[in-house]
Structure 1
Amino acid sequence: MDPAFLGVFLPVVLGFALCVKWGKKERAVTVEVGGELGITKRNHRFQKPVEKPWEGANTLFDLFEQACKMHPKQKFLGTRKLIKKELEPSSDGRTFEKLTLGSYVWISYEEAYEQVCRFASGIVALGHQKGEKCAIFSETRAEWLIALQGCFRHNFSVVTVYASLGEEALVHSLNETEVTTVICDRKQMNKILALGDRLQTVKRVIYMLDSEEKHEPLSIRPPTSWMVTSFEEVKSLGQNSLVQPDLPSAENIAVIMYTSGSTGLPKGVLMTHGNMVATIAGVSKVIPDLGLDDVYLAYLPLAHVLELAAECAMCASGVGIGYGTPLTLTDTSNKIKKGSKGDASELGPTLLTAVPAILDRVRDGVRKTVDSKGGISKKLFDIAYKRRLAAIEGSWFGAWGLEKLLWDALVFKKIKAVLGGHVRGMLSGGAPLSGDTQRFINICMGTPIGQGYGLTETCAGATFSEWDDLTVGRVGPPIPSCYVKLIDCEEGGYRIADSPMPRGEIVIGGPTVTPGYFKNQAKTDEVYKVDETGMRWFYTGDIGQFHPDGCLEIIDRKKDIVKLQHGEYVSLGKVEAALIVSPYVDNVMMHADPFHSYAIALVVPSEQALKGFAHAKGIQFESFDDLCNRDEAMKEVLQSLHKIGKTAHLQNFELPAKVKLLSQPWTPESGLVTAALKLKRENLRKKFDEDLKKLYA
């Protein structure tokens, strides 16, 4: 046989065979645990939950200390230098801050350990005592992790607070936990000082400065009883008065994490060192070859359990962590000066974590760029995309072998460069990832993207899709450190006896399940249960189904199921996940109630897409807000939603009958979405109550 023919034919056959094999691989097994009727799964490779990555690693501080001893000279924490900050005007008269950032400056594991020891001794010297709690209220940065481990060195529990949390939630979190020391960045310090008379127990504020910031006088005078000092001063104080550590045990509370919550005031989840270590042990066994050659890009909120667990897992494996921000992530990000590099381009990460909303933006940004170029560039992209999509979905006639390499070189290389060009794997969590976006990342970035499922109450740990699993819409089998069970959900009509797959409420058990909520025993008793074997279970309120190979798919949320006037059930979250794919949609919230026979929707439209439609149709408008109120625009968006909905096999009653277009984006700062960009449904309903009433009028 012709060798040239073999060179093309064999990769095709082998690739196809692997696809078939991957699709049929067993990933979890059924096992009975506890007496409650249900279907329980565990990872097929482990007989019982894994509680720690290795012997002697019982706490988060153990993991950190051992990593520092194993990899003392390895680069650990990287931060970019700020070269220039300037204001630039936009076409609508507003001004935006633009940054020119330099290369990453690194400290090693050895240097980080030294800084942690100094900071730990410094906060003790300031007067922070055993039993008191510290809070970290800051954007994600290297000092955040140093402060965290410094607190752990003396067994101080840490209260984590989102930097985007509103005033009421912030005051509630700090007062409820009786925090005495707040560690914050300079921006958040002004919020703390402004709330000084409402914070009942705070005594000390430690603020972090960027390298280029100066020790300027405080713009707001703190209460006279407070001690306000800088992060560097605390480390210097500790260097001159080193204190022996008082190390925690696995049962001690490491973090009280306040969820951003979709309703009401946030709840503080109690997380032990053992809970977090179990999650890290489970995830580390799933991600292949995690180690010294990897570089992780950190930019999501460290106050979110997904990012905290990810960074602790990276640390345990000796990975370098380079810090960035969502607004400086790529070369075209909002705060990056044109012509200078974004964080991903400068760092060249091999690993990163993302929430679906950010991946959707990456997808939309690339597609808009391709569409704007048009011509031969767009035709090449469309052909390459279809050929690679066919291959990934198992077709013999897709682009394999040499053809794949050709398309990578001609089309996808530039797209990969958006995230630095070296990414070998991504983790998506925090919300469901659309199949369209998952395939886009697989093809254009040339990398597997593992979907994870978990909650703050389970330390992010529940399931994780293995990187050789090319299916979409699933969140994988249980990680090795927990069990996942389905039980009947009568109100939604989901039962474990359903065919072709068992369906029901998802319940998670094992060492990742946390003790409960801080000072909220009633809510703890409602959603946490202990079975007759002593295993602790958390009732998530999410609805899932098990595929034959043991992988879980999230299909609904108990709180999102609404019964319409004529008896049909609408799952708001399921419909939103389908409609977000529309090119006209940046964000969407479905709304329904039992007093009407149809659903409606609030939509934040894509400004570029909607203006493009208006220009093509010759529609005159004075501003984007004006365009959003035009009947032609609303009709076009509604038609797009119905088309997308039909493609996603939604029923007519599930589709919005009317829409309201809103020109202002929903941000964590506005209190309309969480830090993980999930909808705060009750807040949205309250804010747009009049608009919803008009749609039903």
Structure 2
Amino acid sequence: MENSEEILFNSPAQDDLVVGDQFSILKGYGTYGIVGAVIVAVLIPVLLSPIFMGKKRGKQRGVPAEVGGEAGYAMRNARVTELIEVPQKGATTMAALFELSCKKYSQNQFLGTRKFIGREFVTASDGRKFEKLHLGDYEWQTYREVFDRACNFASGLINLGHNVDSRAAIFSDTRAEWFIAFQGCFRQNVTVVTIYSSLGEDALIHSLNETQVSTLICDAKQLKKLAAISSSLNTIQNVIYFEDEGSSDTSISGSMSNWKVASFSEVEKLGQKGTVHPRLPSKNDIAVVMYTSGSTGLPKGVMITHGNIVATTAAVMTVVPSLGSTDVYLAYLPLAHVFELAAESVMLAAGCSIGYGSALTFTDTSNKIKKGTKGDATMLKPTIMTAVPAILDRVRDGVLKKVEEKGGLAKNLFNLGFRRRLAAVEGSWFGAWGLERMVWDAVVFTKIRSVLGGRIRFMLCGGAPLSAESQRFINICMGAPIGQGYGLTETFAGATFSEWDDTTVGRVGPPLPCGYIKLVSWKEGGYLASDKPMPRGEIVVGGFSVTAGYFKNQEKTDEVYKVDEKGMRWFYTGDIGMFHPDGCLEIIDRKKDIVKLQHGEYISLGKVEASLQSSNYVDNIMAYADPSHNYCIALVVPARQALEKWAQEADIKYNDFSELCGKAETVTEVQQSLSKVAKAAKLDKFETPAKIQLLADPWTPESGLVTAAMKIKREQIKSKFKNELQKLYA
């Protein structure tokens, strides 16, 4: 759902989320029974398909809207005439929503955490040690119990000495206590600063000092990191740490002696002994200052109001079909990220159960799961979950790997079933008919679905673009629609969201009913709101989800936030979009040269180009990144003299410079040079071009590919060498 800021989590290793040995297509079925069932199930729909051909119709999901502000092409959700602002009457703030839900669903299970049984360390063949966890069943707290704990924490926070006019920060992995502390702060109208647990020291110091945080709430394992930077933290007075079962390492360094340090449970007990009357916020109060990892330089803090949170919550609730108290949600992405925080807010409002896990304990074969122990998904059996494309791609790769290993009839059945279900989803024939679907589910897909617990009925995907192939694969193999969304921290994830019955791929849906989407012409890039048949332009989001701006950065706020003559607030995303005739949005480009890759990393193309320009072989270079991939590529105009000198020394034969540029050994030589330069410039792996194309002809102002000052014209180069770029990614 979020497209502007990076999702940072402890990314699992390559085999973390693959399918384990529980995947066995033919287990429990006789060969003749399978073949007979398949024949019957396939034959009947094929005979009946002409009757139903063409019945599938599209529907209007977004409609043009009259709005204020800069001229453009605006759209609103077709299901509403007025924007939605709250999920229920009276829930105008996060504090009010929390209290209302906890009263309404008081006896329902709310937050679940797996019982810790033990841990061990295993040594790999290369000598490295890996932690393995033995985890038991989920242990649950009810809505009433969670509310009581949040109230106790709120009182304990004040009793510990926190000044209600100062901010508290949460610097922790996702867990139930994170959510409880978050809600507890709101009981006293304390603004929460959220910080990724993986943030580096410089960014952490910047975030805490800039927001003048007086109380820091963190995992026990973060205490050592805090001790190391304590002399650089100017305003910290209190540190509250979450106890970790199985770990006794909560030692307090002498450098922290000027802080009050207490465990989370100790603060709760302080609150139980002395209740402090709540000091509840209003909808315009700042609930969260959300720090992002940033693309370059230090992170920015986005100021999110209570009204922003409840507006996005209300809007997303209308998208997920039949969301309610029988649903179970698996939480494993970082709560410091807007995508996960928005999702858990939706689950709270709907009375769902939230079971906490991690990317490293997600499945039975995840890296941190002890052999014989079940993964989080198997134990929880969620009905709803969020995912970033990297997770779904890994699930897809794992399934396909197992299918290939099985081979024979199992592989043939899977491929046949997949093709039939794919045709049904795409509406080309009557393959969605009930009998056939049940047969394919029983024979093939039930075992695959057990990887995610077997009960998934809806998935929310965001953070980066999801490839069409992965979206279709998950639709079919997991039997669940994927709501692919687009949003930003600056819009509290609330911009667009594809609807459950929309079977198209490559789009991010219509505007959420809490706001408008407007396309404003970007003439320099050739994208116009007047383009026919589909308007194009910079995506501008307006409505209740648009946040208050950047913390202590008025200049940047004024640059990208605008308030129109009607008082509506708009955010200029810098992304380029295109409206389809049914009102759905497709992301097609980015105004600036900063691109988010498939796994959520940001890459600054200008930074990459500036670094690689120092190679002796480079005359000019343009880096390029496709958001649906996890690496970048580059077009290189080589320095002719240097390259020809190398060719002579290496005894490379060629007729002309163009032929030399096309030789594999030449490309390898230049690529190795770029890799050395990238390493020296401390570029990350994803910032180093994985593939390059050498272009013999220089870029000149006369060719229209560079300016008079020899700066590259990115859009013109992309257009001229479109085929070359596509081949590099093929």
TM range (shorter): 0.7 to 0.9
1:183 and 2:217 equivalent?
yes
**How far did 1:78 drift?**
0.1
Report the Cα distance in structure 1 between the residues aligned to 2:62 and 2:457, rounded to whole angstroms: 25
**How far did 1:328 drift?**
0.5
Match for residue 524 of structure 1?
557
Residues 459/683 of structure 1: CA separation in 2 closer, same or farther (3 Å cut): farther
Match for residue 388 of structure 1?
421
Match for residue 341 of structure 1?
374
Task: Tell me the alpha carbon deviations over residues 195-219 of structure 1, each in whole angstroms, 9 at most, x when there is no partner.
Answer: 11111100110000134444x5516
Partner of residue 112 from structure 2, selected from 78, 85, 89 = 78
Letter in 1 for 2:542: G
**How far did 1:6 drift?**
12
Give the aligned CA root-mean-square deviation in angstroms: 3.2
Report the Cα distance in structure 1 between the residues aligned to 2:492 and 2:687, rounded to whole angstroms: 33
Match for residue 727 of structure 2?
none
Contact 2:285 2:306 in 1 (8 A): yes
Greater shift, 71-80 or 334-343, is seen at 334-343
1:547 and 2:580 equivalent?
yes
Letter in 1 for 2:632: M
Task: Tell me the alpha carbon deviations over residues 55-103 of structure 1, each in whole angstroms, 9 at most, x when there is no partner.
Answer: 2111001111000100111000000012121111223332211111100
Match for residue 279 of structure 1?
312
1:146 and 2:180 equivalent?
yes
Greater shift, 256-265 or 458-467, is seen at 256-265
Letter in 2 for 1:333: S
SS state at 1:387 partner? helix
Match for residue 21 of structure 2?
none
SS state at 1:222 partner? helix
The 5 Å alignment of 1:632-671 reads none
Report the Cα distance in structure 2 between the residues aligned to 1:690 and 1:405, rounded to whole angstroms: 46
Letter in 2 for 1:126: L
Match for residue 516 of structure 2?
483
1:590 and 2:590 equivalent?
no
Residues 143/658 of structure 1: CA separation in 2 closer, same or farther (3 Å cut): farther
Partner of residue 234 from structure 2, selected from 200, 215, 226 = 200
1:450 and 2:488 equivalent?
no
Contact 1:73 1:110 in 2 (8 A): yes
Contact 2:240 2:262 in 1 (8 A): yes
Report the Cα distance in structure 2 between the residues aligned to 1:431 and 1:660, rounded to whole angstroms: 30
Contact 2:519 2:539 in 1 (8 A): yes
SS state at 1:26 partner? coil
Match for residue 54 of structure 1?
88
Match for residue 323 of structure 1?
356
Report the Cα distance in structure 2 between the residues aligned to 1:320 and 1:593, rounded to whole angstroms: 53
SS state at 1:195 partner? helix
Residues 541/656 of structure 1: CA separation in 2 closer, same or farther (3 Å cut): farther
Letter in 1 for 2:303: L
SS state at 2:364 partner? coil
5+ long unaligned stretches in structure 2: 1-39, 595-604, 614-619, 641-666, 697-730
Report the Cα distance in structure 1 between the residues aligned to 2:412 and 2:148, rounded to whole angstroms: 55
Match for residue 295 of structure 1?
328
Greater shift, 3-12 or 178-187, is seen at 3-12
Partner of residue 546 from structure 2, selected from 489, 513, 518 = 513
Contact 1:140 1:300 in 2 (8 A): yes
Task: Tell me the alpha carbon deviations over residues 329-366 of structure 1, each in whole angstroms, 9 at most, x when there is no partner.
Answer: 11111111122200000000000001111111111111
Report the Cα distance in structure 1 between the residues aligned to 2:582 and 2:46, rounded to whole angstroms: 30
Residues 342/594 of structure 1: CA separation in 2 closer, same or farther (3 Å cut): same
Letter in 1 for 2:553: N
Contact 1:81 1:211 in 2 (8 A): no
Match for residue 89 of structure 1?
123
Please identify the structure whose Cα radius of gyration is greater: 2
Residues 9/78 of structure 1: CA separation in 2 closer, same or farther (3 Å cut): same
Report the Cα distance in structure 2 between the residues aligned to 1:479 and 1:256, rounded to whole angstroms: 23
Match for residue 597 of structure 2?
none
Report the Cα distance in structure 2 between the residues aligned to 1:692 and 1:436, rounded to whole angstroms: 22
Letter in 2 for 1:68: C
The 5 Å alignment of 1:158-169 reads 158-169=192-203
Residues 202/490 of structure 1: CA separation in 2 closer, same or farther (3 Å cut): same
Contact 1:12 1:400 in 2 (8 A): no
Letter in 2 for 1:29: V
Contact 1:557 1:571 in 2 (8 A): no
Residues 385/515 of structure 1: CA separation in 2 closer, same or farther (3 Å cut): same
Residues 414/46 of structure 1: CA separation in 2 closer, same or farther (3 Å cut): same
Report the Cα distance in structure 1 between the residues aligned to 2:674 and 2:381, rounded to whole angstroms: 37
**How far did 1:594 drift?**
9.0
Report the Cα distance in structure 1 between the residues aligned to 2:542 and 2:576, rounded to whole angstroms: 16
Letter in 1 for 2:574: G
Match for residue 635 of structure 1?
none
Letter in 1 for 2:540: V
Task: Tell me the alpha carbon deviations over residues 149-197 of structure 1, each in whole angstroms, 9 at most, x when there is no partner.
Answer: 1000000000000001111111100000000000001112221222111
Report the Cα distance in structure 2 between the residues aligned to 1:490 and 1:657, rounded to whole angstroms: 39
Residues 592/576 of structure 1: CA separation in 2 closer, same or farther (3 Å cut): farther
Greater shift, 67-76 or 279-288, is seen at 279-288
1:266 and 2:299 equivalent?
yes
Report the Cα distance in structure 2 between the residues aligned to 1:364 and 1:662, rounded to whole angstroms: 30
**How far did 1:418 drift?**
0.3
Report the Cα distance in structure 2 between the residues aligned to 1:572 and 1:4, rounded to whole angstroms: 47
Partner of residue 472 from structure 1, selected from 505, 508, 529 = 505
Contact 1:75 1:107 in 2 (8 A): yes
Report the Cα distance in structure 1 between the residues aligned to 2:78 and 2:233, rounded to whole angstroms: 49
Letter in 2 for 1:52: V
5+ long unaligned stretches in structure 1: 581-586, 598-654, 664-671, 673-681
Tell me how many residue pairs correspond in the alignment.
607
Letter in 2 for 1:527: V
Contact 2:621 2:634 in 1 (8 A): no
SS state at 2:120 partner? strand
1:305 and 2:338 equivalent?
yes
The 5 Å alignment of 1:381-460 reads 381-396=414-429, 398=431, 400-460=433-493
Match for residue 289 of structure 2?
256
Report the Cα distance in structure 2 between the residues aligned to 1:661 and 1:284, rounded to whole angstroms: 52
Greater shift, 370-379 or 530-539, is seen at 370-379
Match for residue 624 of structure 2?
572
Contact 1:98 1:337 in 2 (8 A): yes
**How far did 1:572 drift?**
3.3
Greater shift, 337-346 or 316-325, is seen at 337-346
SS state at 2:365 partner? coil
Task: Tell me the alpha carbon deviations over residues 661-681 of structure 1, each in whole angstroms, 9 at most, x when there is no partner.
Answer: 999xxxxxxxx9xxxxxxxxx
Given the two structures, how large is their TM-score scaled by the length of structure 2?
0.78
Report the Cα distance in structure 1 between the residues aligned to 2:484 and 2:103, rounded to whole angstroms: 32
Report the Cα distance in structure 2 between the residues aligned to 1:399 and 1:691, rounded to whole angstroms: 41
Match for residue 28 of structure 2?
none
**Greater length-normalized contact order (CA 8 Å, ≥ 6 residues apart):** 2
Match for residue 135 of structure 1?
169
Task: Tell me the alpha carbon deviations over residues 567-619 of structure 1, each in whole angstroms, 9 at most, x when there is no partner.
Answer: x998934x351xx3xxxxxx31234589999xxxxxxxxxxxxxxxxxxxxxx
Contact 2:623 2:689 in 1 (8 A): no
Residues 308/658 of structure 1: CA separation in 2 closer, same or farther (3 Å cut): farther
Contact 1:82 1:100 in 2 (8 A): yes
Letter in 2 for 1:81: K
Report the Cα distance in structure 2 between the residues aligned to 1:494 and 1:595, rounded to whole angstroms: 32
Task: Tell me the alpha carbon deviations over residues 370-426 of structure 1, each in whole angstroms, 9 at most, x when there is no partner.
Answer: 122222222221111111111111121646321221111111111100000000000
1:497 and 2:530 equivalent?
yes
Match for residue 71 of structure 2?
37
